[in-house]
Amino acid sequence: MAPPPPSPSMAPPGLIHSAPGPPDTCALLPPPPAAASVAFAAAAASMSGPAVETPSAIQICRIMRPDDANVAGNVHGGTILKMIEEAGAIISTRHCNSQNGERCVAALARVERTDFLSPMCIGEVAHVSAEITYTSKHSVEVQVNVMSENILTGTKKLTNKATLWYVPLSLKNVDKVLEVPPVVYSRQEQEEEGRKRYEAQKLERMETKWRNGDIVQPVQNPEPNTVSYSQSSLIHLVGPSDCTLHGFVHGGVTMKLMDEVAGIVAARHCKTNIVTASVDAINFHDKIRKELATSSMEHPLLRHHYLRAHDLYEQ
């Protein structure tokens, strides 16, 4: 299987989508040319041990099945989002454990705004490629590209691009954030641009944490055709398959649930087939434990943006 086209290391955030269940294939891509990639190194003043190289990119491939899609055959946005998060979690966890020391699991902290460039259909193969583009002392930036492939014709198209931020949490103490092994950049500008993106997302993340109490409350007996009338709730009992090694829910699972309830709201309001068009930036401020019930509630003004299916095809 040919690797997907390399994504620009400083590309703006794009789109996403995900799929339930383990991937059918997980392949490591060879490191891109040194002149155009971020080379990984384990040397840092604050860390000891020999230098260790980690793969600069990975790819997950999975064929889309009927249970991944809506009745019209379009793959759910939440399915693609979950696949994106899985790829990001793999490469960031691997990098954070590339040196001898306390073992950890990378937890999703933030996903930048993402747009869905084109729909993916049942029977197509999703190629999800991820690479690390920046690291700070306690966080990792991962950029993910999603390509869809029609295996009958060989046609490929870019469907999503996404930027995700992870933090390494100790396996022994989930409340302990560990240091991230540094990366060596081929160009000085890469580190400077990455630092600017890091500071920007950190500021916005703090602002949303202050507003975290602004929760949409359900309205009893709302008037028809109002915002409150479109509200919908979804309750999900968290099981082992939803969780990380810490026993907390994967960020991708949470995003999939959000997309499901938002899709219900949008379809009820539009009374037709809808597809995910974009998702605003999402910050993860707290953990959801295994065997707890989690609920989501959406209305048309929050987080997700949907289009009628024929509108998306025309764009």
Active-site position among 70, 115, 273, 283: 70
Beta-carbon contacts of residue 194 (< 8 Å; ≥ 6 apart): 10, 133, 134, 141, 185
With beta carbons less than 8 A apart as the criterion, state whether 38 and 182 touch.
Answer: no
Longest dimension (CA), the chain: 66
From 150, 259, 273, 286, the catalytic residue:
259
Active-site residue 70, yes or no? yes
Residue 271: both structure tokens together: 């009374």
**Collapsed DSSP state (helix, strand, coil) of residue 301:** coil
- The amino acid present at 107, given as its one-letter code, is A
Report angle CA 190, 13, 286 to the nearest 5 degrees: 100
Tokens of 64: 């889309």
Would you say 22 and 86 are in contact if contact means Cβ atoms under 8 Å apart? no
**In the chain, where does DSSP find H-type helix?**
77-96, 188-210, 251-270, 309-314
Cα distance between residue 156 and residue 148, in whole Å: 6
Clarify whether 74 is annotated catalytic: no
Amino acid 154 reads G
Which sequence positions are flagged as catalytic?
70, 259
